[in-house]
Structure 1
Amino acid sequence: MPPKFDRKRGLMSRRITQGALIAGSIGILINIVDAIGSGHLEPHDAFTALVALGAGGELLKERRPRAAKVLYAVTSVLLVIAGSVAGARAWASLFRGTTYDWLDLGLGVLIVLYVAVGAGQLLARLSRRASKSRMNAGTLSD
């Protein structure tokens, strides 16, 4: 009989996250063996590590929030680097007129959007902080 979902503990989502961590770890091992056999890494080989890091961050979120934030930051940086490399290669191939991978091309576009949204969120947060500090300064001067 499968375990019941518990809202407090989130048992099912924890099990899914543990499964993602295991699948990501297995994918990392497969990519290592593939890289040894072929002699080089491809940008898409990083995505199994992204799954494992994201799942690890999710599992650490409640007990070790700082460690989870570090894992999320590492995951984001790795995502941007791997996606940028894959996208740049595909876009360069497109402009040269050689063969390219549509998936890598789309990934490059998604990474640009991901960075744009992240930059927008950062600017909005900084703007709110500046606004709050101006309001607090105005309140103190009265």
Structure 2
Amino acid sequence: MSRRISQGILVVGSIGVLINIADAIESGHLEPHHAVPAVIALGAGGELLKERRPRAARALYAVMSVLLVVAGSVAGARAWASLFKGADYSWLDLGLGVLVVLYVAVSTGRLLAHLSHRASKSRRTAGMLSE
């Protein structure tokens, strides 16, 4: 992604965070989908820092992942519970819950593939050293 696009996304996400803070102060409570602009801003910040400060970028990605999983789990659980009870539910919260399930599945698959690749590489290196 180009640097200019990442900067634009960071600005838009930051404005969304400010709007959601004002909305939370006015309404008196936070909704799980209020975390979406923060997730977007953290992802753009991580993208901007990826080349110059990789450790800081990984930290932002980690915070983004935790925030996405927690907010999506809360939103999804409430929406699915309301759906099964036959009560009113938010399509946004339901979609966020589905997104989190997909995100966790893909992240778990990537982690397992990475660990498998590392173990395979380690075995090859150990084999070369023993010869």
Q: TM-score, normalised by structure 2?
A: 0.91
The structural deviation recorded for 1:18 is 1.5
Report how far residue 106 of structure 1 moved: 2.3
Aligned-pair distance for 1:91? 0.5
Q: Which residue is 1:40 aligned to?
A: 29
Cα deviation for residue 87 of structure 1 reads 0.7
Identity of aligned residues (%): 76
Q: In the alignment, which of 59, 78, 98 is matched to residue 87 of structure 2?
A: 98
State which of 7, 21, 40 in structure 1 corresponds to 2:10.
21
Alpha-carbon distance, 1:51 to partner: 1.4
Structure 1 residue identity aligned to 2:124? M
Deviation (angstroms), 1:88: 0.7
Q: Which residue number in structure 2 is paired with residue 89 of structure 1?
A: 78
Residues 19-42 of structure 1: CA deviation (Å, up to 9, x unaligned): 211111111111111111110000
- Listed one character per residue, the Cα deviations across residues 59-85 of structure 1 (whole Å, up to 9, x for unaligned) are 112221111111111111111111111
| Unaligned segments of structure 2, at least 5 residues | none
Q: Which has the higher helix share?
A: 2
Which sections of structure 1, spanning at least 5 residues, go unmatched? Answer: 1-9
- Aligned residues between the structures: 131
Q: Which amino acid aligns with 2:97?
A: G
CA contact (8 A) 2:33 2:92 kept: no
Structure index of larger Rg: 1
Structure 1 segments of 4 or more deviating over 4 A?
none
Structure-1-length-normalised TM-score? 0.85
Residue number in structure 2 paired with 1:70: 59
**Aligned counterparts of 1:135 and 1:21: Cα–Cα separation in 2:** 42
Distance in 1 separating the partners of 2:128 and 2:47: 40
State the alpha-carbon separation in 1 of the partners of residues 8 and 126 from structure 2.
50
More RCO (CA 8 Å, sep 6+): 2
